[in-house]
Amino acid sequence: MKIEDIPQVLKEIEKAGLTRRVVDYRMKTATLAMDRRGTEYIVFNSNDYLGMTHEKEVLEAARRAISFGTGSGGSRLVSGATFEISDLEKELCKVKHKEGALVFNTGYMANVGVLYALSGPGDVIFSDALNHASIIDGCRMARAKVVVYPHGNMARLEELLAETPCDGERFIVTDGVFSMDGDICPLPDLVRLKRKYHARLLVDDAHALGVIGKNGGGTSDYFQEYDVDLQIGTLSKALGAEGGYVAADPLIIDYLKNRSRPFIFSTALPASIGAAALTALKLLQAYPQRFTAKVNENTTYLRNRLKESGVSVKEGETPILPIMVGDEKEGVRLAEACLKRGILLSAIRPPAVPKGTSRLRLTVTAAHTKNELDQVCQVLIEEGNHLWKQ
Ligand SMILES: Cc1ncc(COP(=O)(O)O)c(C=O)c1O
């Protein structure tokens, strides 16, 4: 593409109803945002599943640690290694049932950094069709052969594993909880296949940690199945902080410290972020009723209310509630109508989801009140009336 073609490309994006714009908000609480004019909105598009961004103990831990510097001043291997990030890695080992862990600056960087450090020419990566963009980009950068299997289709994955020649290592990579549909990967089947075909299994628990499994431990705890080679995730969703991680065998972690370029060549996260994430991780284990059980209780309440009202919410068990709309422009119209009535939720359109499956992505948190859940339900019933009647 030439730079002079950009106006035309932008016009086409606009015509298709796919333009993206940044809109600023200030979060007054975990569920209440304010725009620059001072208008307030109830937030239903955040991944702050447990409300940790505004939890008293988490804020206090971050404030204490910010006195050690607003930034880390360097990469982990040079001058940016703080106590807090290393302490967080130790706690992640416990929660993810692994002997080693490594923190990256984002979940995106964790996926890219792991996939292209560990795999290369001669290897084959088997990747679910609905995996997150950071997994897709990690696959692209890896220079390994990439085989995409239809979403959750274990029969097809098995055929592909059996028929794809591979001289090197086989990797199977999947989201634990899928970010746009909220469904959970079939972990027991994936483990069976990885054993049968001697593959390594990578699970990205970005939307699973804090949300599913005993004490919010994630997908392995949900299925009580721990034969996962690399447990990847983010600190930016249920932990209310920033950053990503991988938990694995210490040998793999040592290798990543020496070979993963996003880890090596980027300034480390500051102590305040490490302290916030570590405190959140300890809280969610100590108080399962206050966090994981609460988000699930709120989710069940809203899902049932929406279903009873005829709103086309997808079935599932996680706080990601996709409200299926189909048409891109209709999705945007509905999100705008909700915004006018003080409700913030996201219209998800291609390329994030396949064409014709545009939706509103509504996320529930432990911090939402019943009143807030009732409000979003009422607004959706009224504004999408013509859709739910069909
Ligand atoms: C499944 C999944 N993996 C990774 C990421 C990236 O994490 P981060 O936002 O920390 O970069 C996200 C979302 O942002 C995600 O949904």
Cβ(296) – ligand 1 distance below 6 Å: no
Per-residue pLDDT, 353? 83
Per-residue pLDDT, 359? 93
Cβ(82) – ligand 1 distance below 6 Å: no
Q: What is the 3-state secondary structure (H, E, C) of 272-316?
A: HHHHHHHHHHHHHHHCCCCCHHHHHHHHHHHHHHHHHCCCCECCC
Query: Closest residue (by CA) to atom 8 of ligand 1?
Result: 107
pLDDT in tens, 132-158: 999 999 999 999 999 999 999 999 999
Q: Bridge partners of 199?
A: 170
Cβ(236) – ligand 1 distance below 6 Å: yes
Mean pLDDT lowest for which of 5-19, 139-153, 206-220, 334-348?
Answer: 5-19
Which atom number of ligand 1 is nearest to the Cα of residue 236? 10
Question: And the tokens for 298?
Answer: 């709120």
Which of 45, 108, 183, 318 has most ligand 1 atoms within 8 Å of CB, for mutation? 108
Separation CA 290–CA 293 (nearest Å): 7
Tokens 């950053």 label which residue? Answer: 243
Q: How many CB atoms lie within 10 A of CB 160?
A: 19
Cβ(363) – ligand 1 distance below 6 Å: no
Per-residue pLDDT, 390? 61
Q: What are phi and psi of 42, to 5 degrees?
A: -85, 130
Mean pLDDT lowest for which of 169-173, 348-352, 386-390?
Answer: 386-390
Cβ(218) – ligand 1 distance below 6 Å: no
Q: Residues 351-378: what's their mean pLDDT? A: 93
Which of 132, 184, 318 has most ligand 1 atoms within 8 Å of CB, for mutation? 132
Per-residue pLDDT, 349? 84
DSSP designation for 270:
P
Per-residue pLDDT, 28? 98
Which atom number of ligand 1 is nearest to the Cα of residue 243? 10
Question: And the tokens for 111?
Answer: 């996926």
Q: Give the amino acid at 178.
A: F
pLDDT band at 308 (very low <50, low <70, confident <90, very high): very high
Q: What are phi and psi of 288, to 5 degrees?
A: -60, -30
pLDDT in tens, 54-77: 999 999 999 999 999 999 999 999
Q: How many CB atoms lie within 10 A of CB 11?
A: 11
Q: Residues 185-195: what's their mean pLDDT? A: 98
Average pLDDT, the chain: 96
Cβ(98) – ligand 1 distance below 6 Å: no
For residue 39, pLDDT beyond 70:
yes
Cβ(206) – ligand 1 distance below 6 Å: yes
Per-residue pLDDT, 328? 83
Question: And the tokens for 149?
Answer: 């299997």
Q: Residues 280-287: what's their mean pLDDT? A: 97
Ligand 1 centroid from CA 176, angstroms: 12
* Burial degree of 327 (CB within 10 A; 0-12, 13-18, 19+): middle
Cβ(128) – ligand 1 distance below 6 Å: no
The residue among 318, 311, 325 whose CA lies nearest residue 381 is 311
% of the chain surpassing 70 pLDDT = 99
126: enclosing H helix or E strand:
strand 124-128
pLDDT in tens, 289-302: 999 999 999 999 99
Separation CA 381–CA 72 (nearest Å): 48
For residue 389, pLDDT beyond 80:
no
Cβ(234) – ligand 1 distance below 6 Å: yes
Question: And the tokens for 154?
Answer: 């274990």
Which of 136, 230, 234, 361 has most ligand 1 atoms within 8 Å of CB, for mutation? 234
Q: Residues 167-190: what's their mean pLDDT? A: 97
